[in-house]
Amino acid sequence: MIYDLAPDYVKSIAPYQPGKPISELARELGLEEASIVKLASNENPLGISPKALEAMEGALQDVARYPDGNGFAFKQAIANKFGVDMSQIVLGNGSNDVLELVARAFLTTETQAVYSQHAFAVYPLVTQAVGAEGVVTPAKDYGHDLIAMTAAITPNTRVIWIANPNNPTGTLLNRAELYSFLKDVPKNVLVVLDEAYDEYLADDLKSSSVEWLKSFDNLVISRTLSKAYGLAGLRVGFALASTSIADLMNRVRQPFNVNSVAQAAAVAALADDEFVARSRALNTAGMMQITQGLKRLGLDFIPSFGNFVSVRVGNAADVYQGLLQKGVIVRPVANYGMPEYLRVSIGLAQENARFLKALEEL
């Protein structure tokens, strides 16, 4: 009975399926946690920047106090790094939070949001959670078909969600096609450009989307500190947008959505360019190691621009279970409409080797 009190659009949400935690597999198989390799959540295999860790230790002394609800120091660091005004920034408890803030500020049960087949699972989630209609456009070569997405716009469309690179397919849209898409989209439709993996891109592949904020008042850029910055467990992300959009998103934001330890770590992490450069270099080498291994095994994969790659293994559910038995956690992506694929995150060289060996044995 209580269940029926919730609106149908909430009851029909398919829950998000996170990567299996190391502790859970250790419990189930009676294994030592240290013997398990987790390549399932696109986490940074280098861990956390030593500078961020030090900043967190300092901030711990002060956790009896509420965080700065306006995140002054964190916003100042972002404003300096990206050349935007502080009024254009919205802080989030992870970038998932800022995606949700877009949905809560702009979507209603009368409106629609457009996203691509095989795009990041959070877009349908946050769209459905506010009762808006999700309009799915077919993928083109596993990536976003921007022509189809433009064509899907109706008078009720308020938001278009785009992940660049996309997770779990790793596909990348280039600067020119994105720019011409932005010019084609009506000014009264928000384009959310989710750049969670931007730090992993070679410089000549980056879109420089922050520059576009000057020309497009309907653009929202989403960034995270969960990936190359190594702060996934702290939950920190942010959005950059026009002042009007940021203002509206901030109105529906929880006043203290980013905790004080996370804010302190984020300021230090944003300044640690050396750590990000090391993370990117490790990823480039690991991507080479894994894709060459997959080629050797004769397996197809989708060329990826992120810190993960999706590989076609056939019966992915069985291979996933087989890998778990060998202490290797990867990510099934059947819920993304890719039942023959597994997504593997790029790890340390020895972790990548463990994965390839286990896969070969299977």
Ligand X SMILES: *Cc1c(COP(=O)(O)O)cnc(C)c1O
The residues of the shown chain that bind ligand X, judged by CB under 6 A, are 42, 94-96, 120, 163, 167, 194, 196, 224, 226-227, 232, 237
- CB 239, min distance to ligand X, A: 11
Phi then psi for residue 270, to 5 deg, are: -60, -30
Which residue lies nearer to ligand X by CB, 158 or 235? 235
Give alpha helix (H) positions in the chain: 2-5, 8-11, 22-29, 50-60, 72-82, 95-106, 122-129, 146-151, 175-184, 209-212, 243-252, 260-271, 273-296, 316-325, 349-361
Rg (CA), the chain: 20
The residue among 362, 333, 25, 300 whose CA lies nearest residue 166 is 333
- CB 345, min distance to ligand X, A: 10
Which residue lies nearer to ligand X by CB, 212 or 229? 229
Q: Which residue is nearest to ligand X (CB)?
A: 94
- CB 331, min distance to ligand X, A: 11
Which residue lies nearer to ligand X by CB, 344 or 358? 344
Which residue lies nearer to ligand X by CB, 189 or 266? 266
- CB 65, min distance to ligand X, A: 25
Which residue lies nearer to ligand X by CB, 182 or 231? 231
**DSSP H or E segment with residue 311:** strand 308-312
Give the bridge partners for 13, in sequence order: none
- CB 186, min distance to ligand X, A: 24
**CA–CA dist 158, 197 (Å, integer):** 25
- CB 357, min distance to ligand X, A: 27
Q: How many residues does the chain have?
A: 362
Neighbour-count burial for 28-40, b at 16+ CB within 10 Å, e otherwise: eeeeeeeebbbbb
Which residue lies nearer to ligand X by CB, 62 or 141? 141
